[in-house]
Amino acid sequence: MAKRSVFLNRPKIDPLPITATMTLRDLVEGTFLAYNGARLREACQLFSAQMLADDVTVGMSLTGALTPAGLGIAAIIPLIEAGFVDWVVSTGANLYHDTHYGIGLDMHRGRHDVSDVALREDGVVRIYDIFFEYDVLLKTDAFFKQMIQAPEFQCSMSTAEFHHHAGRYVAERERVLGIGRRSVLAAAYEHRVPIYTSSPGDSSIGMNVAAMALLGNRLAFDVSRDVNETSAIVYDAKRRGGRSGVLMLGGGSPKNFILQTEPQIQEVLGIAEKGHDFYLQITDARPDTGGLSGATPGEAVSWGKVDPDKLPDTVVCYVDSTVALPILTAYTLATRAPRRPKRLYDRRDELVDALVTEFRRVGGPKTD
């Protein structure tokens, strides 16, 4: 009798038929058995069963127009409120469009195949199949212009500090309007989750800051502070004997910014470290084009971004984030009890001080 291959020791593909009463958890675990369905199941199980252990500090990166599609309200806010996200790197665009909801403005379901000339004539702006009035942009611009005239904004600050102050104003607008929690910025403010933007000038928020600078406003983004604060968050997780995990939705600059924390610690600061412990990415980008958006966790190992010993704890799921994120969120809320929030925003100065101390201990920059 021929010896059975070790490759056939894996579970059989033997799903139960889908029924009207099947839960989402049963659907994911019982029918997502191959291809990117299987990767999505692995992503859900990795995030829920391992990445949300109490000793793991979880960073999330947001790329692509997720908040205009309502995923801030539907998925990201519930994850923050459950203590499942400890810090965030986002495009400025996601935070700008998030603000529409928080200040009571409307976004509408549309179609991707409508004439953009006709939309322009009607004063309607399109993000693929999302429609909204041009006036939504003007009202949001006015909100930011007025907000950053406040005294607390007249200085240089990290983008986390800026978004924290902005979240307070948006939360107050939500309260006055009586619309409930609608904004990721407001939720992050409440739970002290720091939100960073890797390219603060590359969004309508940055454009409004630039416009007010022409009139003497003194707000300026301290991008070096952003680099050091995010690196300090990861370093603190490791020096306390904990672990660091990253959940990346899309790629682009936020993906690089959340991952570069480890090369910053190891390569630039010269502090001994091995890389993030958990790497979970939802993307539609291919790796063979050389772009960072499609780069694999194996490639990240060569940069020191991922601990090579933890490659089994990495998942890349090639699925649209608007499909995967709601499923991941629902699965996790159904399978994992809420965690106590780490409230990292309140500890930023302490964390950077610890990073500075270790940088000095290892000798600082090596010069000839």
Question: Is residue 310 flagged as an active site residue?
Answer: no
Per-residue pLDDT of the chain (368 residues; tens, 9 = 90+): 567 888 888 889 999 899 999 999 999 999 999 999 999 999 999 999 999 999 999 999 999 999 999 999 999 999 999 999 999 999 999 999 999 999 999 999 999 999 999 999 999 999 999 999 999 999 999 999 999 999 999 999 999 999 999 999 999 999 999 999 999 999 999 999 999 999 999 999 999 999 999 999 999 999 999 999 999 999 999 999 999 999 999 989 999 999 999 999 999 999 999 899 999 999 986 776 666 666 666 666 666 666 667 667 789 999 999 999 999 999 999 999 999 999 999 999 999 999 999 999 997 655 54
The per-residue b/e assignment along 47-65, b for 16 or more CB within 10 angstroms, e otherwise, is: bbeebbeeebbbbbbbbbb
The residues, any chain, with a CB within 8 Å of residue 143's CB and separated by 6 or more, are 99, 103, 169, 173
Q: Nearest-CA neighbor of 341 among 151, 23, 83?
A: 83
281 neighbors 295 (Cβ within 8 angstroms)? no
Q: According to the model, what pLDDT value does residue 4 have?
A: 82
Provide the pLDDT for residue 300.
64
pLDDT, residue 344, reads 98
Sequence spans of domains, the chain:
35-108+117-361
Per-residue pLDDT at 198: 94
Residue 366 has a pLDDT of: 55
Q: Which residues contact 250 (CB under 8 A, 6 or more apart)?
A: 61, 62, 63, 64, 66, 282, 283, 284, 285, 293, 321
What pLDDT sits at residue 293? 66
Q: How far apart are CA 257 and CA 253, in angstroms?
A: 6
What's the confidence (pLDDT) of residue 313? Answer: 74
Residues 52/336, Cβ–Cβ less than 8 Å: yes
* Catalytic-role residue among 305, 310, 342, 366: 305
Does the pTM surpass 0.75? The reply is yes
CATH of domain 35-108+117-361: 3.40.910.10
Give the pLDDT confidence score for residue 363 in this predicted structure.
73
